[in-house]
Structure 1
Amino acid sequence: MKIDLLSNQPEFINEVSEMVYKEFVVKAGSGMKFEDVVHYFSNTKDYSFPITLVAFENEDCFGTVSIFENDLKIRRMYKPWLASLYTKPENRGRGVGKMLIDKAISVVSELGYDELYLRTEDASDYYRNRGWTYLETVSDEKYNKIDVFKIKCK
């Protein structure tokens, strides 16, 4: 399995867009259209934000993760952020998520950052069990409870 920048693997743009759209956009009720998501992922960067990584082998895409400059408006002092980690259900339990996270941490470190942040509404135990440090619980503009975590990159 390989982890690479989505910008280097454009053949996976539609598949990544579909994963993120179904798992994050629709569930959040943002109103964003699928075409907007495809446009977004068609314009991710190599080494400036937003950055998207993809896990794949041959022609099979297993999962994705992105790195944003900010993923929580009320916490602009934290940056950058791990976002939209998704592994296809049939590939879970194979270490895909860990590999994506490890590569994201490496990219963030290469960019000169000492820490990487994330927000989660329902996966706090997953990140705690992988060495992330809990920072705080906040409420967003919709009054959802959000746990904020960080990890050292260097």
Structure 2
Amino acid sequence: MKIDFLLNHPDKIKEVAEMIYKEFVVKASNGMKFEDVVKHFSNTGDNTFPITLLALENGECLGTVSIFENDLKIRDMYKPWLASLYTKPDSRSRGIGQKLVAKTIDVVKELGFKELYLRTEDTSEYYRNRGWAYVETVSDDNHEKIDIFKMKCI
């Protein structure tokens, strides 16, 4: 398995967009259309935000993660953010998510950042158990509780 930039695999853009649309966008009910998600992933880079990484094995995309400059408007002082970590259900429990996160930290460090942030509504224990430091809990526009975590990129 290898981790690479989506930028290097344009044939995987729609597949990644579909995974993220189904897992995050539909659940958020924010009105974003699938075409908007495809457009977003068509414009990811390798050294400017947004950045998207893929876990690939034998040409198949097993999972993805993105790096955004900001993933929570009410906390724009925190930069950058790990976002949209997703592993396909039939590929879970193989450490793919951890490898995607490790590569994300490497990329962020190469870009000169000393910390990486993330937000989660329902997987706080997952990140706590993997060494992420709790920062704070905030409420979004829908009054939903969001936990913010950070990882030192040293």
User: Post-superposition shift, 1:18?
Assistant: 0.4
Q: How big is each residue's C-alpha offset from its partner over 1:88-118, in whole Å with a ceiling of 9 and x where there is no partner?
A: 0000000000000000000000000000000
Which one-letter code corresponds to 1:123 in the other structure?
T
- 2:148 is paired with a residue whose SS is strand
Structure 2 unaligned segments of length 5 or more: list them.
Answer: none
- RMSD of the TM alignment (CA)? 0.5
Moved over 6 A (4+): none
Residue of structure 2 equivalent to 1:115: 115
Q: Secondary structure at the match of 1:74?
A: helix
- 2:127 is aligned with 1:100: no
Q: Which residue of 2 aligns with 1:29?
A: 29
Q: Which amino acid aligns with 2:67?
A: I
Deviations 1:113-145 (A, max 9, x none): 000000000000000000000011100111110
Query: What letter matches 1:43 in structure 2?
Result: N
In the alignment, which residue of structure 2 is the partner of 1:49?
49
Question: Which residue identity lines up with residue 21 of structure 1 in the other structure?
Answer: Y
Tell me, yes or no, if structure 1 residue 19 matches structure 2 residue 16: no
Say how many residue pairs are matched.
154
One-letter amino acid matched to 1:79: K
Q: Deviations over 1:3-61 (max 9, x none)?
A: 00000111111110000000000000011111111111011011010000000112211
Corresponding position: 1:81 with 2:90: no
| Structure-2-length-normalised TM-score | 0.99
TM-score by length of 1: 0.99
Contiguous gaps of at least 5 residues in structure 1: none
Name the aligned partner's letter for residue 86 of structure 1: Y
Q: What is the DSSP-based 3-state SS (H/G/I as helix, E as strand, rest coil) of the residue aligned with 1:78? A: coil
Aligned partners of 2:11, 2:18: CA distance in 1, in Å?
Answer: 13
* Residue of structure 1 in register with 2:131 after alignment: 131
